[in-house]
Amino acid sequence: MSMDRRTLLKGLAVAAPAAAAGSAGASEAVKAPDDAVGMLYDATRCIGCRACVTACKKANNLPLEMYDPPDDLNGTTKNIIKIYHEGDTTSYMKAQCMHCLDPACVRACMVGSFKKRDFGIVTWDPNRCIGCRYCQVACPYNIPKFQWDTPVPKIVKCEMCLHLIKGGSQPGCCAACPKEAVIFGKYTDLLADARERIAKHPDRYWPKGDPIIFGDDEGGGTQVLYLAGLDFEKLGLPDLDSEPAGAIAQKVQHGVYQGLIAPVALYAVLGAVMWRNRRADRKEDE
Amino acid sequence: MAHAKATPVGGPLLTRPYTWLLAFLGVWLLILVWRFTSGIGAVSGLTDGYPWGVWIAFDVVTGTALACGGYAIAILTYILNRGQYHPLVRPAILTSALGYSMAALAIIIDVGRYWGIWKIPLGGFPDMGGYNWNSALLEVALCVMAYVAVLWVELSPAFLEKWKDTSTSEAVQSFARGGLKFFDKALIWIVALGVLLPTMHQSSLGTVMLLAGHKLHPLWNTGWVPLLFLISCVGMGYAVVVWESTISSRAFKRDRHDSMLKSLAGAMVIVLALFTVIRFADVLISGKAAMLFNQGWLSLLFWIEMALFVVPIFMLRGVRNKPFSTLLNASILMMLAGGLYRFDTYIVAYNPGPNWNYFPSLPELLITFGVIALEIALYVFIVKRYPILAGKPAARSAS
């Protein structure tokens, strides 16, 4: 990467003195904040009752569609349960915001509408958003949804019921689950709980024998953690590297810009070249 | 650096084709009313899977690259000091100013919460800390806004000259004289900005898509994408200058500057070859060589892109002794090459998952066509009334 960066810079600012400047060094993985909370969803416990979907709608004042329930997240649905069949085996799957440790939406948003705020929860600020939808392009899980059918749209996604947590209660979905398939807690406690479960039942979880916790380091880690009996990719979670795309993109961007040194240097060089050209022209004219 | 004499084309504005253009713009306005009253979903094929469609990929990403004629010619004329290209500068700056302004218009149509767009130039409301300097898109937005302003300033002598010569008001005349004097002194630093800003945001337009991560196919997702976007926009800039000169010489009966345009071929070949070498080197060095063949239609798409970049190189070799149409055809291929590369990076090679697909709807396309129509309408109006095009004026010219 560091090689790429230096070459890029040379290409962009041929004569800029900044070309000699050192490289920025590898970015460090982002850690969870100290007060981080999270959710642990265990697909092997879920019975697909969708009480959590209804509870989410109630907790967030979203319209309840009793006779035409949504089949995916959308502009009025922040949480959904999907079903996956493979031969005789069936698995349910919960989709919602993962509350990444290093969220792509936060890196994408021009005006800081998306930010990791209290408890590491990623929230959307309607006072800043201009509706450019770069968050949707950036999110590796396709979580933020846009309200396509209104002239005054919002971006909608799970904010872990921050308003309820602040009042001391649990998020709607976790409070409603009859099987504790999704539970709320401190991020570190949930991680320990998940590790305990896979240690106790290594054959219940995927991959059998040596199960993984999705979100432990995928895409840099997430505060919403998943355990399942089937391949996460089949359940709709992408196979991500531990270095988030945002960190890679930022290395390229900062490599090109070197703070503001590269543009300022290029500007000076361009001006100087033209000034010299003009002086030469004037001499010729005389 | 005396300007080759540019004169207004003159003649009646409301010709029959122009009237048709205005009629279409009327329909376009109605569709815009629909978009702003019913929401983006009502008029477009955009979805949560494909939140960006032709409005972004064509009007903004390809449109601004096609508006890089001013940038490409400025590099040649002012930085590499080839004064002979001066007659090309003004028309190139005009198409750039219009192209970038139309891109800005398309952004206002595309963003969902357009009423807050003033937060971008005015410091990321509600607090100055609102800007996210890690966002490549913020860099693009700020640079494009600044560049639209710079382009109109670069073009302003065309308007000032006209006012100086024809205005009946003494105040306007003295304003025009003062403006021209200021411009003559500040020219260097304005043009330098006009070269710096596209260098910044055209490369950042590539960086923007790096954040899509695994959703962007590895053949297009590379750390070199900023450089590839930058190089290809320069090539598209030269190609547009050739194309635009040809069209306007035909339409307005001006000199086509054949030999001058043909001499651009050298720069065009360098740009095309540079892009081709870097694109292939990147794929090979990053160990993606097998993907050139085993990715089905996406591999094919890569080869079509590359063919569009390579074929013009051969067409442009020795173009001096070839008919002018060879240069024109090579230019059209170059525009297609850069355009396809941009479309692929923003839409075709972008895959949010198995349950999503995108094809623009009719009103969505009509909105894009309307943006182009408005650009043409403004171009014709300005070259007929203001001194943009060099060469002998048409016989029927009024001025």
Write out pLDDT tens, residues A99-149: 999 999 999 999 889 999 999 999 999 988 999 999 999 999 999 999 999
**Total Cβ atoms within 10 A of residue A49:** 15
Cα A194 from Cα A73, distance rounded (Å) = 26
- B172 touches A: beta carbon within 8 Å: no
Q: Summarize the confidence of residues B321-349 as an average pLDDT.
A: 97
Q: Is residue B147 part of a domain?
A: yes
- A133 touches B: beta carbon within 8 Å: yes
pLDDT score recorded for residue B125 = 58
Closest Cβ–Cβ partner in B135, B214, B223 for A110: B135
Residue B387 is given by DSSP the state S
Please name the residue of chain A whose CA is at the shortest distance from the CA of residue B122: A111
Closest Cβ–Cβ partner in A128, A134, A270 for B130: A128
Q: Is residue B373 part of a domain?
A: no
Q: What is the mean pLDDT of chain A?
A: 88
Same domain? For B22 and B168 the reply is no
Between the alpha carbon of residue A109 and those of residues A147, A223, B129, B208, the distances in Å are 17, 20, 13, 11
| Residue with tokens 């000169």, as numbered in its chain | B245
pLDDT score recorded for residue A222 = 97
Percent pLDDT > 90 in chain B is 81
Please name the residue of chain B whose CA is at the shortest distance from the CA of residue A157: B48
pLDDT score recorded for residue A253 = 85
Interface of B with A in 260-279 (CB under 8 A): none
- A15 touches B: beta carbon within 8 Å: no
Q: Is residue B297 part of a domain?
A: yes
State whether B132 and A109 contact (CB < 8 Å). Answer: yes
- ipTM for the complex? 0.93
pLDDT score recorded for residue B391 = 72
Q: Summarize the confidence of residues B294-306 as an average pLDDT.
A: 96
Q: What is the mean pLDDT of chain B?
A: 92
Interface of B with A in 300-319 (CB under 8 A): none
Same domain? For B94 and B167 the reply is yes
Same domain? For B20 and B86 the reply is no
Interface of B with A in 110-139 (CB under 8 A): 110-114, 116-117, 119-120, 124-126, 129-132, 134-139
Please name the residue of chain B whose CA is at the shortest distance from the CA of residue A141: B352
Is residue B393 scored above 70 in pLDDT?
no
Same domain? For B102 and B36 the reply is no
Helix axes A245-257, B170-208, angle to 10 degrees: 140
Same domain? For B215 and B338 the reply is yes
Residues of chain B neighbouring A147 (CB-CB closer than 8 A): 39, 112
Between the alpha carbon of residue A248 and those of residues A112, A244, B210, B291, the distances in Å are 19, 7, 8, 21
B152 or A89: which carries more pLDDT confidence? B152
Closest Cβ–Cβ partner in A112, A238, A266 for B124: A112
* B213 close to B220: Cβ distance less than 8 angstroms: no
Q: Summarize the confidence of residues B151-163 as an average pLDDT.
A: 93
Closest Cβ–Cβ partner in A11, A142, A275 for B48: A142
pLDDT score recorded for residue B123 = 65
State whether B211 and A275 contact (CB < 8 Å). Answer: no
State whether B213 and A140 contact (CB < 8 Å). Answer: yes
Q: CATH number of the domain that B331 lies in?
A: 1.20.1630.10
- pLDDT band with cut points at 50, 70 and 90 for residue A276: confident
Residues of chain B neighbouring A5 (CB-CB closer than 8 A): 223
B262-285 pLDDT, tens digit per residue, is 999 999 999 999 999 999 999 999
Closest Cβ–Cβ partner in B49, B209, B227 for A142: B49
What pTM did the predictor assign? 0.92
Q: Is residue B306 part of a domain?
A: yes
pLDDT score recorded for residue B122 = 78
Encoded tokens for B216: 């962007």
A260 or A165: which carries more pLDDT confidence? A165
Same domain? For B145 and B17 the reply is no
Same domain? For B21 and B112 the reply is no
Chain A: closest CA distance from residue B147 (Å): 14
Interface of B with A in 203-222 (CB under 8 A): 203-204, 207-215
State whether A252 and B49 contact (CB < 8 Å). Answer: no
- What is the amino acid identity at position A200? K
- pLDDT band with cut points at 50, 70 and 90 for residue A7: very low
Is residue A23 scored above 90 in pLDDT?
no
- pLDDT band with cut points at 50, 70 and 90 for residue B254: confident
Encoded tokens for B180: 């021209």
Q: Summarize the confidence of residues B119-136 as an average pLDDT.
A: 75
Instruction: Specify the 3-state DSSP secondary structure of B352.
Output: coil
How many structural domains does chain B have?
2
Same domain? For B95 and B33 the reply is no
Is residue A274 scored above 70 in pLDDT?
yes
State whether A110 and B83 contact (CB < 8 Å). Answer: no
Same domain? For B63 and B187 the reply is yes
- A83 touches B: beta carbon within 8 Å: no
- pLDDT band with cut points at 50, 70 and 90 for residue A258: confident
Q: Summarize the confidence of residues A243-270 as an average pLDDT.
A: 86
| Intervals of CATH 3.30.70.20 along chain A | 37-242
Cα A119 from Cα A168, distance rounded (Å) = 13
Domain, as residue range, for B39: 13-43
pLDDT score recorded for residue B395 = 44
- A30 touches B: beta carbon within 8 Å: no
Tell me whether residue B42 is exposed, middle or buried, using C-beta atoms within 10 angstroms of its C-beta: 0 to 12, 13 to 18, 19 or more.
middle
Residues of chain A neighbouring B135 (CB-CB closer than 8 A): 107-110, 134
Same domain? For B118 and B223 the reply is yes
Is residue A214 scored above 90 in pLDDT?
yes
Cα B386 from Cα B179, distance rounded (Å) = 16
Chain B interface mutation, best of A129, A132, A149, A256, highest count of B Cβ atoms under 10 Å: A132
Q: What is the DSSP string of B199-224?
A: HHHHHHHHHHGGGGGGGB-TTT--TT
Q: Is residue B172 part of a domain?
A: yes
pLDDT score recorded for residue B392 = 64
Residues of chain A neighbouring B1 (CB-CB closer than 8 A): 278, 281
CB pairs under 8 A between A and B: 203
Q: Summarize the confidence of residues A186-194 as an average pLDDT.
A: 97
State whether B136 and A148 contact (CB < 8 Å). Answer: no
Q: Summarize the confidence of residues B4-15 as an average pLDDT.
A: 87
Is residue A6 scored above 80 in pLDDT?
no
State whether A128 and B116 contact (CB < 8 Å). Answer: yes
B47-91 pLDDT, tens digit per residue, is 999 999 999 999 999 999 999 999 999 999 988 888 889 889 999
Q: Is residue B212 part of a domain?
A: yes
Q: What is the DSSP string of chain A?
A: -HHHHHHHHHHHSTT-GGGGSPP--PPPPPPPPTT-EEEEEETTT-----HHHHHHHHHTT----SSS--SS-BTTBS-EEEEEEETTEEEEEEE----BSS-HHHHH-TTS-EEE-GGG-EEE-TTT-----HHHHH-TT---EE-TTSSS--EE---TTHHHHHTT---HHHHH-TT-SEEEEEHHHHHHHHHHHHHH-TTTSSSTTS---BTSSGGG-BSEEEE-SS-TTTTT-----SS-HHHHHHHHHHHHHTTTHHHHHHHHHHHHHHHHHHHHHHHHH-
State whether A249 and B224 contact (CB < 8 Å). Answer: no
- B193 touches A: beta carbon within 8 Å: yes
**CATH of the domain spanning A37-242, picked from 3.30.70.20, 3.40.50.1860, 3.20.20.370, 3.40.50.1010:** 3.30.70.20
State whether A138 and B211 contact (CB < 8 Å). Answer: yes
Q: Summarize the confidence of residues A4-10 as an average pLDDT.
A: 42
Is residue A234 scored above 50 in pLDDT?
yes
State whether A151 and B213 contact (CB < 8 Å). Answer: no
Residue B40: phi, psi to the nearest 5? -70, -35
Same domain? For B30 and B165 the reply is no
State whether A252 and B191 contact (CB < 8 Å). Answer: no
Q: Which of B87, B94, B92, B89 has the alpha carbon at shortest distance from B69?
A: B92
Q: Summarize the confidence of residues A85-94 as an average pLDDT.
A: 91
Say which range, A9-13, A269-273, B6-10, B298-302, has the weakest mean pLDDT. Answer: A9-13
Q: Is residue B255 part of a domain?
A: yes
